[in-house]
């Protein structure tokens, strides 16, 4: 097929996702407190939820039978984000290593 996943179930991060990301940045540029969310099938899809977390959406809404999956995916995305934030902070504050391999 043309798409790796059904675009009606999992967001196409390169196509529609580009528009979501661009809109989120534009909206938050005008209003930093703007609340952004998504609802529907994408709100209950784990891969889409990870994308929405990366883009900075505040929450997702989905049908009741998808809530367990959505909660788990949201928690996993938050943990991943926290780990990446900690890694970036550590890299920024870590002392620079100097390797001197010249003969004494």
> What per-residue confidence (pLDDT) applies to 24?
96
pLDDT tens for 87-97 read 888 877 767 66
Q: Which residues contact 43 (CB under 8 A, 6 or more apart)?
A: 37, 49, 60, 61, 62, 66, 70
Of the pLDDT bands very low, low, confident and very high (cuts 50, 70, 90), residue 12 is: very high
Indicate whether 102 pLDDT > 70. no
Mean pLDDT of 43-70: 95
pLDDT tens for 65-92 read 999 999 999 999 999 999 998 888 887 7
Q: How many Å apart are CA 71 and CA 24, to the nearest integer?
A: 22
Which CA distances in Å does 88 have to 29, 31, 76, 79, 85? 24, 26, 18, 14, 5
């Amino acid at each position: 097929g043309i798409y790796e996943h059904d675009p009606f179930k999992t967001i196409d991060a390169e196509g529609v996702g580009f528009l979501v990301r661009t809109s989120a940045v534009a909206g938050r540029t005008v209003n930093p407190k703007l609340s952004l969310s998504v609802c529907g099938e994408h709100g209950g899809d784990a891969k889409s939820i990870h994308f929405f977390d990366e883009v900075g959406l505040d929450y997702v809404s989905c049908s009741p039978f998808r809530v367990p999956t959505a909660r788990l995916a949201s928690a996993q995305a938050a943990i991943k984000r926290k780990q990446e934030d900690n890694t970036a902070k550590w890299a920024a504050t870590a002392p620079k290593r100097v390797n001197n391999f010249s003969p004494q």
